[in-house]
């Protein structure tokens, strides 16, 4: 079957392309119609990422979503290891647009690199660990390197 026969039998052809940027630049559409970047705006605010609770548990927040690729377990483990707490003490909140940082889309195998390559969630957990050690050192009157 050739293309012409296929189109005649199928009844139509739909061709689309992305013109949102051009439409925005020409003033025909607002900037909001552009597709979201792979990585969202992000946040450097530590409390947008990690919450250490009074009972010793930790709540971590991520804009990336579990889609069957093990992200929930991997990110929970990342936080537990960075903060030196048992895995069972970490709760991970994902994809809640009111609570979690804007990390853009979860696609293209970018979720692990986005949160694990010394940025985003990994950086937040490491920063939280350093802050906790500094507070403990002050409270106990010892140097940070004296703590375990």
pTM for the whole thing?
0.63
Split at pLDDT 50, 70, 90, the class of 143 is very high
20 and 8 inside one domain: yes
12 and 63 inside one domain: no
pLDDT of residue 15 exceeding 50, the answer is: no
44 and 20 inside one domain: no
Q: How far apart are CA 47 and CA 50, in angstroms?
A: 5
> Tell me, what's the pLDDT at 37?
46
44 and 61 inside one domain: yes
Lowest mean pLDDT among 5-9, 38-42, 124-128: 38-42
Question: Between these two residues, 75 and 4, which has the higher pLDDT value?
Answer: 75
29 and 49 inside one domain: no
Q: How far is CA 6 from CA 11, 15, 133, in A?
A: 8, 15, 68
pLDDT of residue 138 exceeding 70, the answer is: yes
pLDDT of residue 29 exceeding 60, the answer is: no
CA 72 distance to own-chain centroid: 11
Split at pLDDT 50, 70, 90, the class of 21 is low
Range of the domain at 44: 39-146
61 and 15 inside one domain: no
Tens of pLDDT along 102-118?
A: 777 776 666 666 666 65
28 and 81 inside one domain: no
Does residue 61 sit in helix, strand or coil?
strand
The residues facing 59 across adjacent strands are: 51, 91
Place of tokens 């350093």: 130
Tally the domains of the chain.
2
Does residue 59 sit in helix, strand or coil?
strand
**H-run or E-run covering 21:** helix 20-25
> Tell me, what's the pLDDT at 91?
95
Q: How far apart are CA 85 and CA 80, in angstroms?
A: 5
122 touches 115 (CB < 8 A): yes
Domain of 128: which CATH number?
A: 3.30.365.10
pLDDT of residue 17 exceeding 90, the answer is: no
pLDDT of residue 11 exceeding 80, the answer is: no
Place of tokens 């957990």: 125
């Amino acid at each position: 079957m050739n293309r012409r026969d296929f189109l005649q039998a199928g009844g139509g052809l739909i061709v689309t392309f992305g013109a949102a940027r051009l439409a925005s630049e020409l003033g025909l559409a607002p900037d909001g119609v552009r597709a979201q970047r792979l990585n969202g705006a992000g946040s450097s605010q530590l409390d947008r990422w990690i919450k250490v609770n009074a009972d010793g548990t930790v709540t971590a927040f991520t804009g990336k979503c579990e889609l069957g690729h093990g992200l929930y377990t991997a990110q929970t483990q990342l936080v537990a290891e960075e903060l030196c707490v048992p895995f069972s003490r970490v709760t991970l909140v994902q994809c809640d647009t009111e609570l979690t940082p804007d990390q853009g889309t979860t696609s293209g195998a970018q979720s692990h690199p986005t949160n694990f390559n010394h940025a985003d969630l990994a950086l937040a957990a490491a920063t939280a660990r350093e802050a906790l050690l500094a507070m403990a050192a002050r409270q106990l009157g010892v140097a940070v390197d004296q703590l375990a």
